[in-house]
Every structure is written in structure tokens, then in C-alpha cells.
Amino acid sequence: MNAAALPGSSDTAPFIAVTGGTGLLGSYLVRDLLVAGRNVALVVRRDRKRSAATRVEAVVRHWEETLETSLPRPVVLEGDLAQPFCGLAEEDRQWLHWNCSALLHNAASLSFRGADRAAEPWLTNVTGTAHAIDLARAADIEHFHHVSTAYVCGLREGTVLEDDLDVGQPFGNDYETSKCAAEKMVREAGFESATVYRPSIIVGDSETGYTSTYHGFFAGLRLGHTLLTRVAKGSTSGPALLALIGVNQADRKNFVPVDWVSAVIAHAVQTPGARGRTYHLTHPDPLSMRTVGRIIQEAVETFSVAASPDDPDRCDERWFADNLRSQLDVYQSYFRNDPVFDRRHTESLASHLPCPPLDDPTLLRMSQFAIECDFGRRPTRATSPSGVAAS
């Protein structure tokens, strides 16, 4: 820990503890809370090369460079959600007790499939959430904020209300099942308030295009990009791509920019009247898959470099169909028509924060960013907040 753990040292405003601060959404939450002047403590694990403190420093420095301003340093609590009490040392748990009034539990595994309940996504999403709840309870934290997903609705159709959770719905993958189980635990844990945020599919920054993860929209984009760079120009028509993935062009998908999701959550955690409710952080205007296919086509034809006929690595389309379609199989459960996410709670909370439109220029900017950094394999104009090329 990088701050004195003194009982009663909280003569300053209480801290908010945040998990998952090194991830895509988490790094934006760190930015928005620090910029708002909140005292922030981050529960972060070390990685193979870097301590938690070094990783957090990289996140804050990224924002200092981007915003061209200096920011206060969060308190760093090194821990792993897979461990009881998130693996926090006794000293750090005591510090939480004396200094924190709220925990924003944002960390999760985004692995879609896992049969072994002792492995991902179950380990972080279910066991890890139980550990976060235990930690908060032991530290007498009153307000638990939980980042869930709109897809706890599973395969439901029609309209899904923000107060709905388990209505016996089937799920599309283990990730959705695990996140639904986690949200249930949070709601039933008996905190003074439990506030739940349910984003739909998070895409990049609406202004810069930045992202560090490449799910959903970016999986389709990567498919088109790979096709163009390994096969040949002209093979990437949007409808052809969609047919290959197996989606209906009339289906609608709900995408939201990461900066907006973070802005609404940061506003909610600082608004006492917002506590205790569930918020669909979803776009009021979902995109049709026809639009998604058209954007992917335009993006790869503009930003990707097509395979040349004498490229020894050039493959035929059969190779592509055999290999990439099986890799994309895991996303099949997402390439389906979304229900209508009722968002009345979100509208009443954040009418001053309208969700930015995902128009063609915005989606193309995000696509350009992803293609330029080769979907995280190459650094691009902005370095990743994690301090390395995103993976």
C-alpha cells in the first residue's frame, strides 16, 4: 500500500475502492474519478513483470499525458480476486475499513466459455465477486457498486426492464451465466446500498477511437481485416461477411462507447440519490447488423492492406472459412438480435449525459484505431493505459 493506514486518518473525504482499474472500462473510471477530485484506491494484481503499483502508475501517467495535466495518485492495494478477501494483506483491509465507504467492483473475466467452475470466467466473476463482497463486508463498506452486463438477460426477447434479473431465462454463454450469478449475489448481500451498472457491448472512445479490448464489434472487424490481409481485396463485402458469420442483417446490436459508460458510472457513484438502483447503460439507438457489416467493409477497404497476389502467406477463401469461422464460433451467441433494454433509470439519472451517437465517422475512427494497432499487437498513436501494447 502506498498510503499510511492510520485508524481515524480519514479526516479527508472517504475513498472509493475500485477493482479492475487496469482494464478498458476501469482505466476510464480511474480517469473520471481522479479528474472529479475523488480519493481513489485501486485493488490491482501484479502481472508477470510488474507490481500492482507500477501498473497503476502506467494508467495514471497515460491519462496525465493525454489530458496534459497532473493527477493525484490512487492508493494501491495489491490483490487478486481469486483469493479470499481479494488477497489483501491485513494491513490493507484495516486501511479499507478506516478510509473507504464504497467499493466499485468492476473487474471481471470476459472469457465467454469455460466448463470448469474453478476456472474462468467463473473464478473471477462468481468466486471473485463473493470475495469482493466478503472484503467489503469485513471492512464495513456500506455502498457496493457493481459493474454487471446488459446480457444478464441471456437470450430473452422483447423488453427487459432494469429491475429484471433472473426470470428463468436461458443464457448464450458461460460469461452471461456467471455475470447473472454475480449480480444476484450482490443484490442479496445486504449492503446499505447495492447499485448495479449494466453496459451493453462496450466499444472504443467516442472521441479518440481508443480501445484496449477487441470483443463484439471488433471481432467482426478483425474478421474482415484478416480476410483482406490474408486473402484478397474484394472478398470483404459486408453482406458476405455477415453471411459467413451467420447473422441476420436486420438484427440489431447494442454498442456503447467506453467514455460514456465511465462518465455515467462516475456520476452515479458520486450521487447519493442514485444508489440502490440498476442502470441499463445501453444505447438508445442500437445498430443494425447491416450497418455493422457496411462499416466493417468500409473500414477494412480504407485502413487494411490487401494481400498481394505474390504474397507467399496468401490463403484461399476456403482456408479462411475453415479457420476463422471456427475461431469466431465463440461469438455466435452475441451475433443475435438484442432485446429492447428499457433505460428509464439511466435516463432519469443522467439526462445531462446523452450517449454519443455511433455514426459512421465515430465507428470508422474506432476501426482505424484497432486496425492501426493490429488489434493490440502493435503500439499506435496513443499508448495503452496499461503501458504496453494492448493484448
Ligand X SMILES: NC(=O)c1ccc[n+]([C@@H]2O[C@H](COP(=O)([O-])OP(=O)(O)OC[C@H]3O[C@@H](n4cnc5c(N)ncnc54)[C@H](OP(=O)(O)O)[C@@H]3O)[C@@H](O)[C@H]2O)c1
Stretch that binds ligand X, among 58-66, 102-110, 155-163, 246-254 (CB under 6 A): 102-110
Q: Taking a C-beta distance cutoff of 8 angstroms, is the pair 123, 175 a contact?
A: no
Q: Determine if 295 is a binding residue for ligand X (CB under 6 A).
A: no
What's the distance, CA 30 to chain centroid?
13
Task: Give the nearer residue to ligand X in terms of CB position, either 6 or 119.
Answer: 119
Stretch that binds ligand X, among 197-205, 229-237, 308-316, 348-356 (CB under 6 A): 197-205
At its nearest, how many Å lie between ligand X and the CB of residue 111?
9
Identified binder of ligand X from the candidate list 74, 128, 224, 286, rule CB under 6 A? 128
Stretch that binds ligand X, among 30-38, 96-104, 212-220, 311-319 (CB under 6 A): 212-220
Identified binder of ligand X from the candidate list 5, 30, 107, 370, rule CB under 6 A? 107
**Concatenated DSSP letters of 197-239:** EEE-EEES-TTT---S---THHHHHHHHHHHHHHT-TT---HH
Residues of this chain, 43-82, that bind ligand X according to CB under 6 A: 45, 47, 80-82
At its nearest, how many Å lie between ligand X and the CB of residue 273?
23
Residues of this chain, 21-50, that bind ligand X according to CB under 6 A: 22-26, 45, 47
At its nearest, how many Å lie between ligand X and the CB of residue 157?
19
Identified binder of ligand X from the candidate list 15, 38, 42, 109, rule CB under 6 A? 109
Identified binder of ligand X from the candidate list 97, 215, 233, 267, rule CB under 6 A? 215
Question: How far apart, in whole angstroms, are the C-alpha atoms of residue 207 and residue 352?
Answer: 18
Of all residues in the shown chain, the one whose CB is closest to ligand X is 23
Question: How far apart, in whole angstroms, are the C-alpha atoms of residue 3 and residue 291?
Answer: 50
Task: Give the nearer residue to ligand X in terms of CB position, either 124 or 346.
Answer: 124
At its nearest, how many Å lie between ligand X and the CB of residue 108?
3
Q: Determine if 110 is a binding residue for ligand X (CB under 6 A).
A: yes
Residue 325, C-alpha cell as written in the block: 469461422
At its nearest, how many Å lie between ligand X and the CB of residue 6?
26
At its nearest, how many Å lie between ligand X and the CB of residue 9?
26
Q: Taking a C-beta distance cutoff of 8 angstroms, is the pair 353, 263 a contact?
A: yes
Q: Taking a C-beta distance cutoff of 8 angstroms, is the pair 21, 103 a contact?
A: no
234 conformational bin, left if phi > 0, alpha if psi -120 to 50, beta if neither: left
End-to-end Cα distance, the chain? 27
Q: Determine if 229 is a binding residue for ligand X (CB under 6 A).
A: no
Q: Taking a C-beta distance cutoff of 8 angstroms, is the pair 82, 128 a contact?
A: yes
**205 C-beta neighbours (distance < 10 Å), count:** 22
What's the distance, CA 9 to chain centroid?
33
Task: Give the nearer residue to ligand X in terms of CB position, either 99 or 106.
Answer: 106
Q: Determine if 124 is a binding residue for ligand X (CB under 6 A).
A: yes
Q: Taking a C-beta distance cutoff of 8 angstroms, is the pair 225, 368 a contact?
A: no
Closest by CA to 203, choosing from 370, 80, 316, is 370
Torsion of CA 186, 187, 192, 194, to 10 degrees: 70
At its nearest, how many Å lie between ligand X and the CB of residue 283?
12
Task: Give the nearer residue to ligand X in terms of CB position, either 241 or 265.
Answer: 265
Cβ-count burial of 84 within 10 angstroms (0-12 exposed, 13-18 middle, 19+ buried)?
A: exposed
Q: Determine if 216 is a binding residue for ligand X (CB under 6 A).
A: yes
At its nearest, how many Å lie between ligand X and the CB of residue 305?
28
Question: How far apart, in whole angstroms, are the C-alpha atoms of residue 107 and residue 98?
Answer: 23
Residues of this chain, 342-371, that bind ligand X according to CB under 6 A: none
Three-state secondary structure call for residue 99: helix
Query: Residues in the site for ligand X, rule: CB under 6 A?
Result: 19-20, 22-26, 45, 47, 80-82, 106-110, 124, 128, 147, 149, 179, 199, 201-202, 213, 215-216
